[in-house]
Structure 1
């Protein structure tokens, strides 16, 4: 008798766990996770930048790695980065942060994660901002580096899940 109670309890616990999994929210993922776009940064250089996107709920986080290199070492968190992206083809979403990793002299720039106050809905798109204003601005040691996206990103815009 005692064994049957344990068996029923175990079965009930298993059913509850399976039910909880069925109602758990699905993982969300922006697609594509990575894209590239050409950026021109004036006398600082330019080239292809790699953009990486991650999604948690309605929040998107972007990271930018550029071909622009630094002549001197930069400490972690010493760069304030602002990235403007075209949101849904006509609006603008702004991402920012000061989470860059340490960058050695001669190293390529890496923004670290950039966040936005914009809440993104399923189907919202983000693409490299192509306009007369800077798409990417870096503030480091009192110097402002302005970069302009020369074209839209490849393979296409980020699409929120």
Structure 2
């Protein structure tokens, strides 16, 4: 009887350690690459090169767009741009990132929007080329579209 208790206790301890190890293991979900460049035309805001920065935690992802070539035509207060970033997905439906996160920007300042949030699926391959960025500022909609391919290529989500 004593041998059964020791065996049961050892199995319970081993199972507990295995679960604890999984709980503290780093998340395997990651997006590659984490940054990409695009060239976009944004009408009144101008156009040119922009950088997209991506993060992923499980099925939650964020994208931030920054550009020194795309500038604010008027002063813009923090968190006042309603942004919708639609990314083409070569493995399924487009993914739509949205939010109202932006820093305060003076007239002529570089544009930054995000992080914008969306849900992604494992294997998604997202590209700005074929998508768009819509920003609503003081009731005016500004749409940016790609004028060239995303480099080094699409964001691939785990």
Same fold (TM over 0.5): yes
Provide, for residues 59-118 of structure 1, a one-character-per-residue CA deviation record: whole Å limited to 9, x for no partner: 1111111221113221111101111101135531111110111112221111021012x3
User: CA–CA distance in 1 between the matches of 2:154 and 2:144?
Assistant: 19
Unaligned runs of 5+ in 2: 1-12
Matches within 5 A, 1:70-149: 70-89=72-91, 91-116=93-118, 118-121=119-122, 123-130=123-130, 135-149=132-146
Provide, for residues 119-160 of structure 1, a one-character-per-residue CA deviation record: whole Å limited to 9, x for no partner: 422x221111426xxx01111011111111122210111111
Unaligned runs of 5+ in 1: 1-12
How many residues were matched structurally?
143
Tell me if structure 2 keeps the 8 A contact 1:63–1:110.
yes
Tell me if structure 1 keeps the 8 A contact 2:129–2:150.
no
The corresponding residue for 1:157 is: 154
CA RMSD of aligned residues (A): 2.3
Tell me if structure 1 keeps the 8 A contact 2:134–2:142.
yes
User: CA–CA distance in 2 between the matches of 1:139 and 1:23?
Assistant: 42
TM-score, scaled to structure 1: 0.78
- 2:63 is paired with a residue of what secondary structure? strand
The corresponding residue for 2:34 is: 33
Tell me if structure 2 keeps the 8 A contact 1:130–1:150.
no
Deviation at 1:18, TM superposition (A): 8.1
Which moves more between the two structures, 30-39 or 70-79?
A: 70-79
User: CA–CA distance in 2 between the matches of 1:90 and 1:21?
Assistant: 35
Q: Which has the higher strand share?
A: 2
Greater than 6 Å deviation, 4+ residue runs: 16-19
